Amino acid sequence: MRIVIAGGHGQIALRLERLLHARGDEIAGIIRRPEQAGALLAAGAEPVVCDLESAAVEDIVKHLETADAAVFAAGAGPGSGIARKDSVDRAAASLFADAAEAAGVRRFLVVSSMGADTEPPEGTDPVFAAYLRAKGAADADVRARAGLDWTILRPGRLTDDAGTGRVTLGESTGRGEVSRDDVAAVLAALLDEPGTAGRTLELIGGDTPVAEAVRAAAGG
């Protein structure tokens, strides 16, 4: 497959790129800054410089026209303020979805966040609350699109621990941690499982092998 990943320099995206390259897929990663290109090349991905905060739909469509699937893994990241949570985590996700629909790319994965569907509890850090609201709004936008075979993945608290290859995946998992390695492994498996289209799935560490967990989520 040819897969285009928005936020191609992110920690999960780089892991996913390495996995997809190792299995023989062709990957393009959308990045904001040219100096990020080396990390993508090392991961086996083609770097595509395109700032999703300022690009027009047609700028992104040309990178998606030959793709079989698209993955939105971009985020404003730590240290960014409330405004960029909206411009990246919400608006860029919607723009990328617009481009996927225009390019005829139906398979569309989103890396979201656990807790994105509920109003943040009172006392939540304002920037984190803005992040959750932005993710929730982006997810709602994607879920309303009949032109996409979308799957939304909502990991728990991310860690840099080595992946175990075993997870808990479902509509509601409860709170927990999950390694970025295992998130990337689940994303790779979801790309191969069209039966998970139309599903919003939570993900934490667990005891079920990734392939088995994804098959179960698809009803297999």
Structure-token pair, residue 180 = 């970025």
The CA angle 202-125-173, to the nearest 5 degrees, is 15
Assign 220 a pLDDT band (cuts: 50, 70, 90): low
How does pLDDT run across 128-141, given as a tens digit for each residue?
Answer: 999 999 999 999 99
Type of residue numbered 22: A
Give the model's pLDDT for residue 3: 98
pTM exceeding the 0.85 threshold for the entire prediction: yes
Q: In the annotation, is 131 catalytic?
A: yes
Q: For 5-23, what is each residue's pLDDT tens digit? A: 999 999 999 999 999 999 9
Quote the tokens at residue 23: 């299995």
Catalytic residue among 114, 131, 156, 169: 131
Q: Kindly state the tokens that stand for 34.
A: 């040219």
Check the CA dihedral 89-91-96-98 and report its sign: positive
pLDDT higher than 80, residue 174? yes
Closest CA to 16 of 175, 163, 177: 163
For residues 88 and 72, give the distance between their C-alpha atoms in angstroms, rounded to a whole number.
11
Percent of the chain with pLDDT over 70: 100
The predicted-structure confidence for 17-47, as pLDDT tens digits, reads as follows 999 999 999 999 999 999 999 999 999 999 9
